[in-house]
A = this chain, B = another copy of it.
Amino acid sequence: MKMLDLFGPMKKDMDFIEKQLYRSIEGEEGLLSSTSSHLLKAGGKRLRPVFVLLGGKFGNYDLERLQYVAVPLELIHSASLVHDDVIDDADTRRGKPTVKSQWDNRIAMYTGDYIYGKALTLATRLEDPKIHQILAKAMVQMSIGEMEQIRDFFNTEQSVRNYLLRIRRKTALLIAISCQLGAIAAGASDEMSRLLYRYGYNVGMAFQIRDDLLDLFGTEKQIGKPPGSDMRQGNITLPVLYALREEELREPLLQEIREIHKMDGRKDASDAIQMIRQSSGVATAEGLADRYIDKALDALSRLPENKARKNLQDIAHFVNRRTY
């Protein structure tokens, strides 16, 4: 089952959002239009707009209004990826060259700034300061999350709590507010917006844990980049932290990570990945992802029963089985 199959009936609305997404970054400066549309063209799941539209189904669904949160949220996500690629020194993203590899780091930086600015400008079309505030705060939290990631590169002593706080800021928060802002823009009740936030937060946590598992155990075809790239850049993820807790694995795994660090990421991570695969870290990480999904489903169960709720349920299950 592909992600988009879930949204057959929503396809027309998502096509509209897609068109608006491209329109939003058209601008006065040719190079910026190319660089900002570059990442959009490479595809992506448009998960955040989907959450916005589904969140909107719990109020007075109005696509004209919802676009002004759906498009900004996808743009903020895109801007963070463009800046992320500068840091990760990534040459490909979604199987295509990154902005920083096709142009350069400086251009990638301003492309990100431009997209952030466009996102926030667009959101002001809805004259609701609460929405602007939630978006701007998300930008702050995301940059804190990114900074924490840099700070914790190759830190094998970090706690699981550290990891969870980081992915909350880096990923879960934006998915949470996608669901919430859809509801708010559609005038849903505070209680519903709150439950949708909680659903999104928990799905987002599971999503990132699954993403980190995929980075280690997926194929290059599945993930659009070579496996183990998190580890090579020093991003110590949940299965690694769990594996490091195992007595007999700890020392050899630490040794491998030190080697990777020493070689500045040029060392292949396959030995380390092999060790982690043999540990119980994978199952423990999957178990935690399951628990987040359970919490997401629990939040959903308190929402009125409708088609959108069923869709959100399907997405939660899908996220937890993802191989893309």
Tell me the A residues contacting B by CB distance below 8 Å. 27-29, 31-32, 83, 86-87, 105-107, 109-114, 116-118, 120-121, 123-124, 126-129, 132-133, 136-144, 146-148, 150-151
Q: What are 10 sample pairs from A and B whose C-beta atoms fall under 8 A apart?
A: A27-B140, A29-B147, A31-B151, A83-B110, A86-B109, A106-B150, A110-B143, A113-B139, A120-B136, A121-B137
- How far does the alpha carbon of A107 sit from the alpha carbon of B87 in the complex, in Å? 9
- How far does the alpha carbon of A150 sit from the alpha carbon of B114 in the complex, in Å? 14
Contact B32 A144 (CB under 8 A): yes
Contact B124 A139 (CB under 8 A): no
Partner of A105, one of B31, B105, B147: B105
- How far does the alpha carbon of A129 sit from the alpha carbon of B120 in the complex, in Å? 11
CB distance from A134 to the nearest CB of B (A): 9
- A32 and B120 in contact, given A109-B86, A150-B106 (Cβ under 8 angstroms): no
Q: Which residues of B contact A112 (CB under 8 A)?
A: 113
CB distance from A203 to the nearest CB of B (A): 23
Contact B148 A132 (CB under 8 A): no
- A83 and B143 in contact, given A120-B136, A136-B120 (Cβ under 8 angstroms): no
- A106 and B132 in contact, given A28-B144, A140-B114 (Cβ under 8 angstroms): no
- How far does the alpha carbon of A149 sit from the alpha carbon of B85 in the complex, in Å? 22
A contacts with B: majority SS: helix
Q: Which residues of B contact A143 (CB under 8 A)?
A: 32, 110-111, 113-114, 117
Closest-by-CB residue of B relative to A128 is B129
Contact B129 A133 (CB under 8 A): no
With contacts A29-B144, A29-B151, A121-B137 known, what are 14 further pairs, Cβ within 8 A? A27-B140, A29-B148, A31-B147, A32-B143, A32-B144, A86-B106, A107-B147, A114-B147, A117-B140, A117-B142, A121-B133, A123-B136, A126-B129, A128-B129
Contact B140 A118 (CB under 8 A): yes
Contact A117 B139 (CB under 8 A): yes
Closest-by-CB residue of B relative to A87 is B106
Contact B124 A129 (CB under 8 A): yes
- How far does the alpha carbon of A112 sit from the alpha carbon of B79 in the complex, in Å? 13
Partner of A109, one of B32, B109, B120, B142: B109
CB distance from A39 to the nearest CB of B (A): 15
CB distance from A171 to the nearest CB of B (A): 16
CB distance from A126 to the nearest CB of B (A): 8
Q: Which residues of B contact A128 (CB under 8 A)?
A: 129
Q: Which residues of B contact A142 (CB under 8 A)?
A: 113, 117
- How far does the alpha carbon of A133 sit from the alpha carbon of B137 in the complex, in Å? 16
Q: Which residues of B contact A148 (CB under 8 A)?
A: 29
Contact B117 A137 (CB under 8 A): yes
- How far does the alpha carbon of A251 sit from the alpha carbon of B122 in the complex, in Å? 47
Q: Which residues of B contact A121 (CB under 8 A)?
A: 133, 136-137, 139-140
- How far does the alpha carbon of A107 sit from the alpha carbon of B150 in the complex, in Å? 8
